[in-house]
């Protein structure tokens, strides 16, 4: 929009006229300065200093407020980054909050952290994304609830040139100068789970796979990698049940109970998400089979049963490191520096033997309010 066609000149004139009326324009030697060569039809603008001091101060304040109201973009540049995880207050995502906050604090930036109350509230996440765009934040970090529905909103953000870092899910949009990904290596996670199952079953047995979710590319990659590794390295371990996943733990528990009710011999369950892991554990407790059937889960959430053996192991994401890296990338994008398109972090196999190790504790750190 050109300056001549914009309301900018009229706003300046309004501000300048009010400023003059406030008694702070140029003065002559007397109590008033008389304009020269004024047309008879023009009113004479008197810039008097005889107004009471309190009145002049009030006028200055009003004129200043008018100026700031007309030009909010000139008043400040946002240094706030919006961070939208899949959910708030969870063992999986609060460490990402801490990682991002620690970097932001060191860079002099602020964080707006918010998410829908449920991971399946895709419409709520999209609505929140649109709201933070409208607020004019400096950039956005988001962990999409689902892959396909978030593609169009993210494409719109990229087209506007607003920096964005996508965490945890590859949306199928090519990385660009203002779009980067920070991902968990889900292929490596699938391989890790297959080898753990092969180890605890001694290379033979029957298993069920729960929590398959085609709406998240990461979980799909886990499942494919798991089955491929199992077939290649442990041909005597057979998958006898596959079930789609839900975001609701009670639904996941019902799915697991249905599998157990079939009466087919199952030696282990592999649960591909934190909700399917929790649901499968509750079902095993209900059927009193936590010792008879091994449970290998994904995504840290329910950890006390790992200590007692109710859950054999969990393939955990390095979400603290992922949040830390996402904010570092965001800082680089905001300041025009080149960034890698995709950054991947290998998962960790969390067992009873290493649950208290420094490596695990680092990834569970959720003290976002503290200095790094």
Residue 293 has pLDDT above 90, yes or no: yes
Per-residue model confidence as pLDDT tens digits over 141-166: 999 999 999 999 999 999 999 999 99
CA distance 344 to 39: 74
> Per residue in 197-223, pLDDT tens?
999 999 999 999 999 999 999 999 999
Read off the pLDDT of residues 78-119 as tens digits, 9 standing for 90 and up: 899 999 999 988 999 999 999 999 999 999 999 999 999 889
List all residues 6 or more positions away from 84 whose beta carbon is below 8 Å from its beta carbon.
114, 115, 125, 128, 129, 132, 140, 141, 142, 143
* Across 287-314, average pLDDT: 96
| CB neighbours of residue 7 within 10 Å | 10
Tell me what pLDDT residue 78 has: 84
Kind plus residue range of the DSSP H or E element containing 121:
none
Which DSSP string do the residues of 156-189 spell out, in sequence order? Answer: HHHHTT--EEEES---SPPPBTTEEEEEE-HHHH
Average pLDDT on 60-66 reads 47
- Whether the pLDDT of residue 39 is over 80: the answer is no
| Segment 5-14, tens digit of pLDDT | 344 334 434 4
Q: Terminal CA-to-CA distance of the chain, rounded, Å?
A: 44
- Whether 271 and 297 have beta carbons less than 8 Å apart is answered as yes
Burial zone of 325 (CB within 10 Å; 0-12 exposed, 13-18 middle, 19+ buried): buried
Q: Give domain 187-316's CATH superfamily.
A: Response regulator (3.40.50.2300)
At residue 45, the pLDDT reads 37
Per-residue confidence (pLDDT) for residue 271, from 0 to 100: 98
Q: Confidence class of residue 58 from pLDDT cuts 50, 70 and 90?
A: low
Question: Smallest Cα–Cα separation from 360: which of 282, 307, 308?
Answer: 307
CA distance 247 to 80: 30
Three-state helix/strand/coil letters over 298-332: ECCCCCHHHHHCCCCEEEECCHHHHHHHHHHHHHH
> Contacts from 114-119 at CB under 8 Å and sequence distance 24+?
114/82, 114/83, 114/84, 114/88, 115/84, 115/85, 115/86, 115/87, 115/88, 116/87, 116/145, 117/87, 117/88, 118/87, 118/247, 119/86, 119/87, 119/145, 119/247, 119/275
| Percentage of the chain modeled with pLDDT above 90 | 76
325-339 per-position pLDDT tens digit: 999 999 999 999 999
* Cross-strand pairs, 345: 184
Q: What is the DSSP letter of 86?
A: S
Delimit the CATH 3.40.50.2300 region(s) of the chain.
187-316
Residue from 205, 214, 184 nearest 314 by CA:
184
What token pair was written down for 303? Answer: 């950890």
Distance CA 330, CA 141 (A): 8
Two tokens, residue 31:
């109590």
């Amino acid at each position: 929009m050109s300056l001549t066609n914009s309301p900018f000149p009229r706003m300046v004139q309004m501000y300048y006229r009010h400023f003059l009326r406030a008694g702070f324009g140029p003065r002559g030697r007397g109590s008033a300065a008389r304009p020269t060569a004024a047309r008879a039809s023009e009113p004479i603008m008197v810039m008097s200093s005889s107004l009471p001091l309190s009145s002049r101060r009030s006028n200055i304040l009003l004129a200043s407020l008018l100026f700031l109201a007309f030009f909010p973009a000139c008043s400040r540049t946002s240094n706030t980054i919006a961070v939208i995880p899949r959910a708030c207050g969870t063992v999986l995502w609060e460490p990402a909050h801490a990682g991002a906050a620690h970097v932001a604090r060191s860079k002099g930036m602020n964080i707006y952290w918010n998410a829908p109350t449920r991971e399946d509230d895709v419409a709520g996440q999209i609505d929140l994304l649109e709201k933070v765009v409208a607020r004019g934040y400096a950039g956005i970090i988001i962990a999409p609830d689902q892959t396909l529905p978030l593609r169009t909103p993210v494409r719109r953000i990229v087209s506007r040139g607003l920096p964005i870092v996508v965490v945890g899910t590859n949306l199928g949009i090519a990385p660009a100068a203002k779009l980067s990904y920070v991902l968990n290596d889900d292929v490596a996670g699938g391989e890790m789970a297959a080898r753990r199952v092969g180890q605890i079953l001694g290379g033979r047995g029957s298993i069920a796979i729960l929590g398959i979710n085609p709406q998240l590319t990461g979980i799909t990659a886990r499942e494919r990698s798991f089955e491929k590794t199992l077939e290649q390295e442990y041909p005597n371990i057979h998958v006898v049940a596959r079930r789609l996943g839900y975001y609701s733990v009670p639904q996941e528990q019902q799915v697991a109970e249905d599998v157990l009710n079939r009466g087919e011999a199952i030696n282990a369950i592999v649960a591909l998400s934190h909700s399917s892991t929790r649901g499968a554990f509750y079902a095993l407790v209900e059927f009193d089979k936590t010792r008879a059937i091994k449970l290998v889960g994904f995504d840290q959430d329910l950890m006390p049963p790992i200590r007692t053996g109710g859950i054999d192991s969990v393939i955990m994401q390095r979400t603290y490191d992922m949040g830390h890296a996402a904010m570092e990338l965001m800082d680089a994008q905001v300041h025009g520096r080149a960034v890698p398109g995709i950054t991947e972090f290998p998962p960790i196999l969390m067992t009873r033997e290493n649950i208290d190790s420094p490596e695990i504790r680092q990834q569970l750190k959720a003290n976002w309010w503290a200095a790094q």
